[in-house]
Amino acid sequence: MPNAQFPPPSIPFRSNDFALRLYEDWHDETLYTITGPVTEGIQHNITIVTDREAGNISLRDYADWNIDTLETELKSCRLLKKEEIKLANGLPAYRAIFSWWPTNELRLYQEQIVLLAGGKGYKITATFTKKTRKTLGPAVELMMLSFQPSVADGGKR
């Protein structure tokens, strides 16, 4: 029902399942979660977080900031590996692999890939047990490396 008090929203927003129009001061802050198999009591997934405020920072600084934040948030977290990589499409990214103990009985491994594209930052994360890091890890990593940011719409997605 139209409202004469407000002009119609003008910013297109599209998801995989719907579309709507937003006002200028409204922004998508969606955390995307792609779920996979439940193995060893763990719901395996890939999460993708978009950071619209990444701005003009170097990839190295952005990766260091994300790693420092994760180390602060996770109980008994230890950085095992940090390296510069390239996605399948050639975009530069950083990969970090951590181990951590969410409980005294459960040790998990977390892989994060961070990148910058079109003025946005992206953080792609997957979590594994020791066993599933070997069994599911290679396939999950291929999915993570296939990430393709959409910058064609100017970030108005």
Token pair 């940090």 is found at: 82
Q: What are phi and psi of 44, to 5 degrees?
A: -75, 140
Contact 44, 37 (CB under 8 A): yes
Give pLDDT, residue 152. 46
- Please check the confidence at residue 2 and state whether its pLDDT lies above 70: no
Question: What is the Cα–Cα distance from 30 to 157, expressed in whole angstroms?
Answer: 11
Give pLDDT, residue 74. 78
Report percent pLDDT > 70 for the chain. 92
Contact 45, 126 (CB under 8 A): yes
**pTM, to two decimals:** 0.84
- Please check the confidence at residue 138 and state whether its pLDDT lies above 80: yes
Contact 122, 110 (CB under 8 A): no
Tell me the three-class secondary structure of the chain, residue by residue: CCCCCCCCCCEEEECCCCEEEECCCCCCCCEEEEEEEEECCEEEEEEEEEECCCCCCCHHHHHHHHHHHHHHHCCCCEEEEEEEEECCCCCEEEEEEEEECCCCCCCEEEEEEEEEECCEEEEEEEEECHHHHHHCHHHHHHHHHCCCCCCCCCCCC
Which amino acid, one-letter code, is at 106?
L
Most confident of 67-76, 98-107, 108-117: 108-117
Taking all residues of the chain, what is their mean pLDDT, rounded to a whole number?
Answer: 89
Q: Which residues pair with 49 in a beta bridge?
A: 31, 123
Domains belonging to the chain, first-starting first, are: 29-145 (3.40.1000.10)
- Please check the confidence at residue 128 and state whether its pLDDT lies above 90: yes
